[in-house]
Amino acid sequence: MSAEKNNTYQKGPNRSRNTARGQGQGNSHRPNRYSKNQGNRSNRNQPVEVKIGQKFPLTIKRLGINGEGIGYFKRKIVFIPGALPGEVVTAKVTDFTDKYIEAKVVTIREESQDRVTPEDPAADLVGGFELAHLSYPAQLAFKKDLIVQALEKFQPKGFDHYQINDTIGMDVPYHYRNKASLPIRKIKGEVKLGLYKRGTHDIVDLPTIATQDETSMAIVRQVGQILSDASVSFYNEAKNTGLVKTIIVRANQEGQAQLVLVTNVEEFPGRLAVIDALTEKIPALTGIFQNINFGKTSLIWGDETIKLWGDDYLHEEILGLNFAFSPRAFLQLNHEQMTKTYEIAIKALDLNKEDTLVDAYSGVGTLGLSMAFLVKEVRGMEVIPEAVADARLNAEENGIENAFYEVGTAEKVFPKWAKEGFAPTAVVVDPPRPGLDDAFKRALLKTKPKKLVYISCNPSTLARDLADLDAAYQVDFIQPIDMFPQTPRWEGVVKLSLK
């Protein structure tokens, strides 16, 4: 959706404009797909069978991990975005290697019964709507199938008997994103604020986005208008001139919002007048920040963030606790589905006052602190120092005295604690896409906490990790949750227990 890269402590894939190729480490069920020069040696000298622009009929067999249709042409795999299983389409080759063909749909000859008209008129143009043409029940089935496919690939012990629940969806699978992060440019005198047209750096101006919540969307647009009225300059990529690159608005459930203006340079002419206008016209704002991100880069955030006005934090209530989020702190984009995820994880851990809980990959402590009142002690670790500071503050603000957060990686801190004699009875892990580090898995297998819950955003690394953890753990259930409707992004909770 946004062009966000993981240079912040965000969870989730790189939402770069090259969504289809932006998949992180360990995510591919088909290694080499995107590494164009790593052709299979035996294939290398085979004549190329297709040409760019060539058209052929294609039957779609299934959906790939990025939501694209998959078919076969002369036994070569074809990736074709926008086509659905069961459909017969006329495909046109857009690119190929000796391993695969990429194509686009010219016409649909036989249409799937699951095909729907996307809710957003720009769904075919921009990223973030890869599944919008698929009926919602079929999207949920696809997300269950993603984990099944990943398990078949990595084959953890007993995987064919795993309890894999149906994906938990949303009643209304739209308007769920609480954060909008939209690039702004002036093209031929016209301000464009929206999303990149797929595969380009051209911005499609979007007054609304069907997956974005109304508050953050409306505020982003208002901010764009105010900046434009104040003659603030917008970034020009070709010339590397102009000031504001991206407008980021994060809204909470109460309709308050935190604004970050990502700029190309620090100097911000007319800053005070702009702040006045913003605060006067947008009463929902709690804080305004400037993040400086020099020059041409695919990263959204630069290293330095300056507060221009207001509160340091945006507050959000999660499961009855009040959490503070600094601009770069990770907060799940979908409040409703995040709450369900946490509730499932908490229930699966089945905690009691004797338990000592580790909240690994803790972010600002949302998960661990939600469980602090159930257990004797919580310890969490997280690599980003600012997030750990936020977690400590969140513990304090909620009057929690039995939770301790430390800066460091799970793979370093967990074994260190074990060495010091700390043997937790329960562990919740919530890693980013690359999944668990080997050293952390070894330490888990050695320490053997009785209760283990794994929250994952990547079925592939999850399946790989389950195959490593099967030495001591069995899987009680896997619960996929649709955190990102209309996109192929996956989220799920796994309950494990010691064999």
Please identify which residue in 98, 120, 130, 382 interacts with ligand SAH, judged by CB under 6 A. Answer: 382
Q: Are 452 and 473 in contact (CB under 8 A)?
A: yes
414 binds ligand SAH (CB under 6 A): no
430 marked as binding residue: yes
Q: Is 454 in the site for ligand SAH (CB under 6 A)?
A: no
Q: Is 308 in the site for ligand SAH (CB under 6 A)?
A: no
Q: Does 15 bind ligand SAH (CB under 6 A)?
A: no
Of the candidates 235, 301, 330, 473, which one interacts with ligand SAH according to CB under 6 A?
Answer: 330
φ/ψ of 312, rounded to 5, equals -70, -30
Note whether 349 binds ligand SAH by CB under 6 A.
Answer: no
User: At its nearest, how many Å lie between ligand SAH and the CB of residue 394?
Assistant: 11
DSSP string across 331-384: --SBHHHHHHHHHHHHHHH---TT-EEEEES-TTSHHHHHHGGGSSEEEEEES-
**What does the alpha-carbon distance between residue 192 and residue 401 come to, in Å, rounded to a whole number?**
48
User: Is 361 labelled as part of a ligand binding site?
Assistant: yes
Residue 492 binding ligand SAH, by CB under 6 A: no
286 binds ligand SAH (CB under 6 A): no
Q: Would you state the structure tokens that stand for residue 291, as one six-digit string? A: 């993040």
Query: Please, what's the b/e burial string for 295-306 (b: 16 or more CB within 10 A of its CB; e: otherwise)?
Result: eeeebbbbeebe
| Partner residues linked to 358 by β-bridges | 379, 427
332 is in an annotated binding site: yes
Choosing from 128, 302, 432, 488, the residue that interacts with ligand SAH (CB under 6 A) is: 432
Q: Binding of ligand SAH at residue 195 (CB under 6 A)?
A: no
Cβ proximity to ligand SAH: between 220 and 388 the closer is 388
Closest to 141 in 3D by CA, of 431, 119, 149? 149
DSSP, res 123: T
Size of the site for ligand SAH (CB under 6 A): 20
C-beta of 387: minimal distance to ligand SAH in Å?
A: 5
Min dist. Cβ of residue 363 to ligand SAH (A): 3
457 tagged catalytic? yes
How many CB atoms are located within 10 Å of the residue 112 CB? 19
Q: Cβ closer to ligand SAH: 407 or 445? A: 407
Catalytic pick among 410, 457, 475, 496? 457
Contact 213, 177 (CB under 8 A): yes
CA separation for the pair 68, 70 (Å, rounded) = 6
- Between CA 148 and CA 22 the distance in angstroms is 22
Q: By CB under 6 A, is residue 462 in contact with ligand SAH?
A: no
Site of interaction with ligand SAH (CB under 6 A): 9, 11, 330, 332, 361-363, 366-367, 381-384, 387, 409-411, 430, 432, 437
Q: Which residues are catalytic?
A: 457
Binding residues for S-adenosyl-L-methionine are 332, 361, 382, 430
